[in-house]
Amino acid sequence: MASEKKIVLVTGANTGLGYEIVKALYESPVAYEIVLGCRTPSNGEAAIASLQSTLPSSASTLSVVQVDLESDASLEAAAAALAARTGGRLDVLVNNAGGTAGAGPATPRAVLNRTWDVNVAGPHALTTQLAPLLVAAPDPRLLFVTSGTSALAETVRADTPPLARINASPAAGWPKAAAGGLGDADADALAAYRAAKTGLNMVMRDWARVLRADGVKVWAVSPGFLATGLGGVGADKLKAIGALDPAIGGRFVRDVIEGKRDQDAGLVIRADSVQPW
């Protein structure tokens, strides 16, 4: 795969925002070597087939590497495979994969631990494995996909419908009802997700510090409220409460990769602003 094209790895690339990031890059006139990082490689291959069917002509190429954020062995193998296939260089890492804990964990501790593992520890571990490839690139970029719900400063606001919904206090009594109008995303899952994304913002800040002398530009990208499969709620239900087309988020991430937000490196960024801490 070693070439003059910019090499981009997008994790969680076969669905949701990850797929839309890949699609936006594949539509770009800029030529990329786009690597889809997927927990199940066959899902990545299916995503590639879908993209190539929809967009039969592109300046870019597509391939898959297995990436399981909960497995150090998987991350080590992914780094070794990429080093061998790209000549030891990675121009862009988009740490997109993440999500809520799902139906498996039952206790508050289990929900928080797994949510943190997937959204914070996993991206941090993968970045550590791929840092040697990033610093070998001429203009390296490192992106962490965060959430608008991660801003501590906005937890006290209720002046917009989304903030009023996500920050609303439930009625007295126990157990509490589902939080934020997100269906089966209960209070434990929502709190764990918000805490994890806030933690990811700090991880981003530390990577910006660590890689500053190497010229790596680092961001946390807050793509907005998108109608993806996050939380198992369903795109239609999310759209009914104001979620946007995930393609909007994909194009935003492409803009960051293509240099349109370089002045905001080291910050948490929204499409039209810098997100408060």
- 54 vs 70: CA distance, rounded Å: 32
108: how many CB neighbours lie within 10 A of its CB?
14
* Active-site hit among 19, 26, 32, 193: 193
Dihedrals phi, psi of 210, to nearest 5 degrees: -65, -40
Question: Is residue 197 flagged as an active site residue?
Answer: yes
Residue 187: burial class (beta carbons within 10 Å; 0-12, 13-18, 19+): middle
DSSP for 154-167, written as a single string: GGG--SSHHHHHHT
Compute the residue count for the chain: 277
* Active-site hit among 58, 60, 74, 147: 147
- 78 vs 121: CA distance, rounded Å: 16
Could you identify the residue written with the tokens 């989304």?
A: 162
Tell me 150's DSSP state: G
Question: Is residue 19 flagged as an active site residue?
Answer: no
Helix intervals (H) in the chain: 16-27, 41-54, 72-86, 108-116, 122-135, 161-166, 187-210, 235-240, 246-257
* Active-site hit among 26, 74, 150, 197: 197
Dihedrals phi, psi of 236, to nearest 5 degrees: -65, -40
Torsion of the alpha carbons at 127, 128, 132 and 138, rounded to the nearest 10 = 30
Residues designated as active site: 147, 193, 197
